[in-house]
Amino acid sequence: MSANIHSQFAVTVLDVMKTQYKKRILFDYVQSCYTVSYIQKGEVLTTSPEGEFVASAGDVMIHRPNEPFNVISKSDGVHYLFNINAKVRDEEDFFKLIPLGKVIQIRDRKEYERKFDELRSLWLQEEDDFRNVQIGSLVFFLLYEIVESTKLGGRRSLRDPAITDRFNDVLQYMEDRLDQEITREELAKRYHMNPVYFSRAFKEIYKLTPMQMLRKLRLQHAKQMLESTDYTLEHISHRFGYYDASHFSKVFLSVYGKGPAAYRKSIKFTKTSIASP
């Protein structure tokens, strides 16, 4: 079943549906059309060749045709979605002509949901020409709302708090295991992500790869321990994941310009100088 509307803007509506789930996990899912999925309830992590994004209630996700994507949600959710192909003028792809980003925050959620409910009701009715015109008009309205929401700054980027907060768990996971061997693959698995996508999204936020961040955290904590304790270099190196004091010293020197022993000595000298009358 489909509905064709021809003008400067030609749209084929392939499906209109509401989906409800307890949790949702799709891996490497591919469709031959665009899927416009509005999140009425819940939060999902979505990854595609464009990168990784978090979409929450009030956001629209746009999944492109013939591009594999993942959708992961660990909580209850409700999505309003429709599948379409949309062409403008001389068979130009609407979504390439007007790039909208992967996730867009809708400016008027109540109106979007109300119009979608009308669309869903019409979709379930018996097919006729008038119904098809009404369906086309409502799809145009929903697309218009998405475009206008983008103009108002509704496009989500990897710098949004909702996205950066997503990786706080990764940082805590690292800090809790600084003495252990941790791999990029291990971290990506926690988010059900391809390691390449995970590393790319992580670096977009922190300007460091996950492994560079792990080294930075280890050295920061080791530096603090050199400043505040008398533990041996051997103890500190094992405490923060270095297999011996020599390796730890080389890495520390390359970052801070002083070896750990020299750094500790300079800190003690500074403290003594400040304490002296």
> What are the pLDDT digits (tens) for 79-88?
999 999 988 8
Mean pLDDT within 14-36: 88
Helix pair angle (168-175, 210-228), 10° resolution: 50
Mean pLDDT within 256-275: 74
In the three-class reduction of DSSP (H, G, I as helix; E, B as strand; rest coil), residue 160 is classed as coil
Label the pairing between strands 59-63 and 103-105.
Answer: antiparallel
Residue 89 token pair: 């003028």
Upper half-sphere CA count for residue 49 (Cβ side, 13 Å): 8
Domain over 3-154 is classified CATH 3.40.50.720: no
Domain residues of the chain, as ranges? 3-154, 161-275
Q: Which of 90, 92, 95, 114 is nearest to 40 (CA)?
A: 114
Residue 170 token pair: 């990764």
If pLDDT is split at 50, 70 and 90, which confidence band does 13 have?
very high
- Residues in contact with 193: Cβ distance below 8 Å, sequence separation at least 6, in sequence order: 45, 47, 52, 70, 201
Distance of alpha carbon 196 from alpha carbon 198, whole angstroms:
5
Distance of alpha carbon 229 from alpha carbon 224, whole angstroms:
8
In the three-class reduction of DSSP (H, G, I as helix; E, B as strand; rest coil), residue 16 is classed as strand
- CA-CA distances (angstroms) from residue 76 to 127, 157, 162? 33, 24, 18
For residues 171 and 59, the answer to whether their CB atoms sit within 8 Å is no
Total-model pTM: 0.58
Residue 47 confidence (pLDDT): 82
First vs last C-alpha separation in the chain: 89
Task: Answer whether residue 8 shows pLDDT above 80.
Answer: no
Task: Answer whether residue 93 shows pLDDT above 60.
Answer: yes
Residue identified by tokens 């007007």 is: 98
Q: Which of 9, 10, 13 is nearest to 1 (CA)?
A: 13
Partnered with residue 104 across adjacent β-strands are 60, 155
Quick: pLDDT tens for 146-191.
999 887 655 454 445 444 556 777 888 898 999 999 999 999 888 7
In the three-class reduction of DSSP (H, G, I as helix; E, B as strand; rest coil), residue 192 is classed as coil
Residue 276 confidence (pLDDT): 47
- The top-level CATH class assigned to 161-275 is mainly alpha
Residue identified by tokens 């209109």 is: 16
DSSP string, 62-116: EEPTT--EEEEESS-EEEEEEEEEEEETTTEEHHHHS---SEEE-S-HHHHHHHH
